[in-house]
Amino acid sequence: MVKLVANNLEMKFGERHIFSVDRLQLSQGQTIHLQGDNGCGKTTLMKLLAGLISPSRGAITAEGFEPLPWWRSNALLGKAVYLHQHPYLFDGSVEYNLSYPHPFCSMTKQQLSERTQTAIEMAELTHLKNQAASSLSGGEKQRLAIARAWIMQPKLLMLDEPTSNMDRFSQDLVLTMISDLQQLGTGMLISSHQSCMLTSLCNQTWIIENQHIMSPYTADSAPINLQEPRYVIAN
Amino acid sequence: MNEGWLALLQQALGLLFSLDPDVWSIVSVSFSVSFAALGITLLPSMILGFLLAFGRFPGRWFVTNLIQTLQSIPTVVIGLLVYLMLTRMGPLGDLRWLFTQKGMILGQMMICAPVLIAMSQAAFTSVDRRAWETSRTLGASWLRAIWTVCRELKVPLLMAIVAGFSRILTEVGCSMMVGGNIADVTRNIPTAIALETSKGDFAQAIALGLVLLILSLVLNFTLGTLRGKAEPRSH
């Protein structure tokens, strides 16, 4: 099972202290609702756990990922996927965007083709397949971004305010895709200000308050030995 | 007067369409020298532009301002500098590149590089950070992510290339000083136009001017088409 463990984590931007936490654990199978006020560091925490930025202090270790080729130093990239609040879609068609992660997935061409077809149907974007991604509406863009992540079937997924500014129809479609990933065992961290359909899927809550992250300390997360080869240090 | 102009234009077109060897030799020297200078300078300049945009190292501010300054230095001054370097007494005198195409290429590289570096730096600075993050989190390698960012910036990067190429293809000062305007060897379009005009042979000057004009139209219309296809990006 894939597991991310953060120890003695502290994040600062210059002199500004964002948050600190002694220990955090995100595993496959967990679905966590990340709560906190604007500017408290929810996005920063997600980017940290996705390996996109490094902490000011402390370490994030990843267990259970496949061994990396020599030219890849960060085990989290491509495995713990982060989705921006306003997703970025590459210049090109809807189909191009869906096929972008294909070369990085450890699936056969047949599987990827089937998953892409299913994803585009789940996101109700079939009729827009050849259209420029930049011409989509906000909700369609969000659906496309989630469909792109769904194809990859990531071990861990960070969703930053995924249903903000989304109508009911789009929310339902996103919920279907996210529920499906949850059933497949993807561990998820979902940030959201308010409770919504998506947060009802969550079985745990993390709260960032007063520059501290509060999460239930799980008993099975015994101190880990960073020298063990099965751990990959991601800072 | 008008008839005189028309006659000149007719003669110029005649020279072009009859594949006049003198005219096309000049065109050939111009293009081979400028393409070589652009080809050698392109990749290192883009890499430097990328490093100046994203790198944080001591002296970055100084290098950025130096490059900006070099952009506006008159080509005759660069010609003088290259001349002094290539002259027998100069540090590169042993190469014996003065009044050769190699010398012209060196001079044009020095003119082209600052334009390419400054414009690519500006392009990379303007990139949406989410493009890089999305590419990386979807599993792209470092190199592939750079390629993706370049693809997203294809219009401003192509504009940089066109600006650099236009500057070296049309510059007179450096080519005249370093190349020496030797027929069939170092005589290029701008030096030939200057010479033919001073001799009163306007037909050949106009024919060569038309080549530059047509090239400029083709490049700008191609860029305009690309720019037209690129949708303005919003969230």
pLDDT for the residue A88: 96
> Does residue A218 carry a pLDDT above 60?
no
pLDDT for the residue B69: 93
Considering the domain delimited by B7-229, tell me its CATH architecture: Orthogonal Bundle (1.10)
ipTM field: 0.89
Distance from CA of B37 to the nearest CA of A (A): 31
CB contact, 8 Å: A79 with chain B?
yes
pLDDT for the residue A160: 95
Q: Do B151 and A91 touch (CB under 8 A)?
A: yes
Domain definitions of chain B by residue range? 7-229
pLDDT for the residue B49: 96
Mean pLDDT across A84-90: 95
pLDDT for the residue A227: 40
pLDDT for the residue B2: 64
pLDDT for the residue A74: 76
Higher pLDDT, B147 or A218: B147
Which chain B residues contact residue A86 at CB under 8 A? 130, 235
The model's confidence at residue B81, banded by pLDDT at 50, 70 and 90, is very high
pTM of the predicted structure, to 2 decimals: 0.83
The chain-wide mean pLDDT, for chain B, equals: 92
Q: What is the pLDDT of residues A103-146, one digit of tens each?
A: 999 899 999 999 999 999 999 999 999 999 999 999 999 999 99
Order of strands, edge to edge, in the sheet holding A16-27? A80-83, A156-160, A187-191, A31-36, A204-209, A212-214, A16-27, A3-13, A57-63, A231-233
Number of domains in chain A: 1
Residues of B near A (Cβ–Cβ under 8 Å) read 128, 130-131, 133-141, 144, 148, 151-152, 154, 230-233, 235
pLDDT for the residue A224: 40
Residue A112 belongs to domain spanning: 3-233
> Does residue A72 carry a pLDDT above 70?
no
The model's confidence at residue B163, banded by pLDDT at 50, 70 and 90, is very high
Which chain B residues contact residue A88 at CB under 8 A? 128, 130-131, 133-134
Least Cα distance to B122 among B77, B98, B155, B96 occurs for B155
Percent of residues, chain B, with pLDDT higher than 90: 86
The CATH number of the domain holding residue A209 is: 3.40.50.300
- Give Cβ neighbours of residue A44 (< 8 Å, ≥ 6 apart): A11, A18, A19, A53
The chain-wide mean pLDDT, for chain A, equals: 87
- Cite the beta strand spans of chain A per DSSP E: 3-13, 16-27, 31-36, 57-63, 80-83, 156-160, 187-191, 204-209, 212-214, 231-233
pLDDT for the residue A234: 42
Mean pLDDT across A18-41: 92
Distance from CA of B130 to the nearest CA of A (A): 6
Q: What is the pLDDT of residues A183-210, one digit of tens each?
A: 999 999 999 877 788 888 998 999 999 9
Q: What is the pLDDT of residues B211-220, one digit of tens each?
A: 999 998 998 8
d(CA A147, CA A177): 7
pLDDT for the residue B233: 59
Which ranges in chain A belong to alpha helices (H)?
42-49, 94-99, 109-122, 138-152, 168-183
